[in-house]
Amino acid sequence: MVAPGRGGAAIHCARDTRPQSDAAAAPPDVSVTSDYPMMAVTLVTVRSKVGLAALEANPNVADVFEDDVVTLQDAQSQALINQPEAAALGYLGAGCSMAMVDTGLNYLYPDFGPCTAVNTPPGTCRVVYMHDFNAQGDDGETDDRTRHGTCTSAIAAAVAPGAKLLGLDIFGVNPKTGDIEANTSDYIGAINWAIANKDAYNICVISMSFGGAKSFSKPCGTLPDAIAIQAARDAGIVSVVSSGNQRFKKGLSQPACAPAAVSVGAVYTSSGGSGGGGNCFDRGPLAADQVTCYSNSASYLTMLAPGDYVTAIGITQSGTSFAAPHVSGAVAVLKAAAAWATPDDIQSALTKAGKPVFDKANKITKPRLDLLRSLNILLDGALLTINGGAVGTNLRAVSLSPVLLRSAPAGATWCASDTNASPNDCCATAAFTGGNLTATLASPGDGNKTVNFFLRGGDGCGAPLIAKAQASILLEATPPSNVNITVVQGATYIDGVGYLTTNKVQVQITAEDAGGVTQMCISYSASAKALTKCKWEPFSPAPVALKLKTFQGRHVLRVTVRDTFGNEASAEQQLVRDTVKPKMRGKLQGVAGGGGNISLSWTAAEDAVGVAAYILVYRPAKLAPPSQCSTAPPVNGPWPPAVIPVPLAPGPGVLSADVGGLMTGTYYSFRLCARDAAGNVASGLTWGQQLA
């Protein structure tokens, strides 16, 4: 059990709460290399198989593990996690220190203040401690050639601009390979130091951006580094660990697999282009919050954070290494804002407030860091979502979905109001059952409605206030106005009725709405029931071509429009489609009177949509006027006597006419034609007689 690059080192974990560090009690060929008094873990050197067997047989030793090698996890994030909004409210992480367990930290970068040396000048230099924990000892450098630790530290420092930093260097150069690496015992030593010095530096978080090459499909709680991370959590320190870049989709690397660790995978920071790492490629266009192809994931991964194309100290890098310090900085901000918060509270705030992100590679959804919402749930005890996070609604009845930092006690009650912002004006009376709750918006009118939610430990205002939350939603219950539909091509309007002679028309729809009209639904039918059946489509104010089904008679053309929030309004047009000429019954009858007069009468014509008028024409000849009472001269041939129109009043009730001024001894031919509202003209009835 020889660790790569480090002699015959092994780690044993004690069965009780204190490690067996007495060298005199060690088996033959086993010597204690490092003792970690803050946890039940000891680093020993084993020089023979006999010594290893004796160590494993020791009743005080729970397990023996190889001192594994870990490597760096390499592969514009602040806005994505809502850090600027949190900082604007004064939440900067002041009072907390972040232990950056990495390759070191070059404090001369301005990201860490005007440092000339560690903690110099005091107060303004943010780097307050540095130490080399690698077994090779102090290499005399603030950071190695990768500048990995400086980058991760700068990211955490930007998220928590008021926090201090401690550079705990665990990495060294493997003399055989030249690689930058560390052993498990190196970072266990750093964790042990952080626990021992927690109060001296007010250490709130340990940040680790490295890992091994093995995939752990389940939490690795028995490993020595997992025991160390649990010890830190028991001491009140949150350990944030990068999930790894091996593209595992059903496992995490070590030490991210530790049950007490806050393991962090990476998402893309912005949209567009392509991305990936050395072992994979994501073909673009990418989307912000898309999980990177290289990011290790598993069902027990804690959360996600921006990790691709993250810029710090003027260097743009990618990897879960750079996702983890975003969360480390967030932990510092949260702990500084709520000194009473336990690691469980901090982790609950981080995960319950995060934006859900779906990983297509393994069909797992995990929360992406949202610092502002994490602060809200930590400080207020709850977050509130209305109607599942909808922007607006057209109904006053809304669904409330509170998320609590801690479980509600038995007997808890709740109250919600959009008119009272004070808990004393909204005394809880309804039993809190969790899940979705129903409330009614009471403030008058449309507009933005802010709902205040209060949770109490009992009934009435005298009960202790456990949690509160606030959320807003836009109420828009006013339907669209000035809705109109007009046939702009293919119809003739008479008294508001559109008369069609073709089934191919163009209609134009107009409507007004404060939030905008988004959809429309067009139907036409003679049946009121059939008018309700239509297909919704995107709203367009431009003319829309319609091909109407064949029909005769009266129909209704209806459009229903819908705004952003589902309010609907309708408008209708009466349409008449008539391609059939009026039917003329009976005969045209005439009686010649004296003085050059003739009296004509006829039977009313029939038409599906009604007769609009009659046309009466004549000419002084035995040749009857043309069909449909046309007065146009013939195109070819000799010109007969001109056709003379007789003025008649419009309407279907005109059933007689007197024609005067005729010449005796002349033959007159008459034609009567009925015309309907659509313009269809009957062939007509004829009558003729020579005037005596």
Catalytic annotation, residues: 102, 148, 321
Residue found by looking up tokens 């290399």 in the block = 33
Crossing angle (nearest 10°) for helices 371-380 and 324-337: 30
Element housing 558 (H / E)? strand 553-563
Residue found by looking up tokens 């972040």 in the block = 98
In 578-650, the DSSP E strands lie at: 589-592, 598-601, 611-619, 644-646
How far apart CA 384 and CA 470 sit, in angstroms, is: 6
61's CB contacts (< 8 A; 6+ apart) are 12, 13, 14, 15, 20, 55
- In sequence order, which ranges of 36-80 are alpha helices (DSSP H)? 49-57, 77-80
Cis-peptide into 306, omega within 30 deg: no
Which residue type sits at 579?
Answer: T
Phi first, then psi: give them for residue 193, nearest 5 degrees.
-65, -40
In 476-552, the DSSP E strands lie at: 481-489, 491-494, 497-500, 504-512, 517-525, 536-538, 544-547
How far apart CA 570 and CA 560 sit, in angstroms, is: 4
Q: Is 112 helix (H, G, I), strand (E, B) or coil?
A: helix
In 355-460, the DSSP E strands lie at: 355-359, 364-368, 382-386, 392-393, 397-404, 413-417, 430-431, 437-440, 447-456
How far apart CA 52 and CA 2 sit, in angstroms, is: 11
Q: Is 205 helix (H, G, I), strand (E, B) or coil?
A: strand
The bridge status of strand 203-208 relative to strand 97-102 is parallel
90's CB contacts (< 8 A; 6+ apart) are none
Q: 296: how many CB neighbours lie within 10 A of its CB?
A: 27
Q: Measured in Å, how far apart are the chain's first and last C-alpha atoms?
A: 139
